[in-house]
Amino acid sequence: MKSFAKTLLNKATEPYRSAGRFAWHFARGKLSGDPVFAGLLELGAIENDARVLDLGCGQGLLASWLSAARQLYEAGQWHDTWPEPPRMKAYRGIELMPSDVQRARAVNAENAEFVQGDIRNAEFGKVDTVVILDVLHYIKPEEQEHVLRRVREALLPSGKLVLRIGDAAGGLPFLYSKLVDLVVFFIRGHRIAKLHTRTLGEWRDLLTQMGFTVESMPMHKGTPFASTLLLASVSAQP
């Protein structure tokens, strides 16, 4: 497993060499240290031939990771206990920071595009899967709800929202994760801002009210954080 993990990491981060030392080192650290990337593959959270919308995509790490996984699978080098990684019909990332968009465009991912925009008002289109990883707490509660309503409208009838949040009821691990979030946010060029957080129960209730069926699971393995992954499937009219 260690050998496979290293091969996948190398393949996913290689495109960032052309984007500069910061982009490459950030990709290496994030993809090797954050369990959500391996977790999404282990869970089969993104289905084959999905049209994916990645909100707050940063420098396109998830697109590069999924693309690398698919290339290894097709080359017969896949980890045999994980499900088949997704082949993406389309992948669109929206990111606020122009510098991150520029780095994302170094990603060698088939059918992927990255655009600069604000997820509160950017065009979403119609998609099968929306991914939001550790993003919504940077905007105000009413803006979070606005974005989620727009996500619900963008998803097709069988669509899915993949959302990772910090559980505000998580005690010291949650406080530590907030501190790290702010530091990383600053390093990436954002100004320090107030974080707008909710408990896991509040996130679940909000998504249920919007017409989702929600499954949750811890997603902080091997880290001192309080992160939770929510898999929210379209279930009813909101």
- State in Å, rounded, how far the first CA of the chain is from the last one: 43
Question: What is the per-residue pLDDT for 108?
Answer: 75
Q: Quote the percentage of the chain above a pLDDT of 90.
A: 76
Domain-by-domain residue ranges, the chain? 2-234
Is 89:51 a contact under the CB 8 Å cutoff?
Answer: yes
pLDDT tops 90 at residue 122:
yes
Mean pLDDT on 8-32: 95
**In sequence order, what DSSP letters do the residues of 172-237 get, joined into one string?**
HHHHHHHHHHHHHHHHTTPPP-----B-HHHHHHHHHHTTEEEEEEE--TTSSS-EEEEEEEE-S-
> What's the order of all strands across the beta sheet hosting 227-234?
112-116, 90-95, 51-55, 127-133, 155-166, 227-234, 212-218
Question: What is the per-residue pLDDT for 109?
Answer: 81
Alpha-carbon span 27 to 14, nearest angstrom: 9
Residue with structure tokens 């530590």? 176
Question: What is the per-residue pLDDT for 48?
Answer: 94
Mean pLDDT on 85-108: 94
Instruction: Record the tokens describing residue 116, joined without a space.
Output: 């600069």
> Is the overall model pTM greater than 0.85, yes or no?
yes
The mean pLDDT of the chain is: 90
Mean pLDDT on 183-191: 60
Q: Residue 158: exposed, middle, or buried by beta-carbon count in 10 A (0-12, 13-18, 19+)? A: exposed
Mean pLDDT on 227-233: 96
Mean pLDDT on 174-201: 68
Mean pLDDT on 42-63: 96
Beta bridge partners of 20: none
Name which CATH class applies to 2-234.
Answer: alpha beta
Alpha-carbon span 148 to 141, nearest angstrom: 11
* Tens-digit pLDDT profile for residues 130-153: 999 999 998 999 999 999 999 999
| 3-state secondary structure (DSSP) of residue 18 | helix
pLDDT tops 70 at residue 208:
yes
Question: What is the per-residue pLDDT for 171?
Answer: 60
Pairing of β 90-95 and β 227-234: unpaired
pLDDT tops 70 at residue 211:
yes
Question: What is the per-residue pLDDT for 95?
Answer: 97
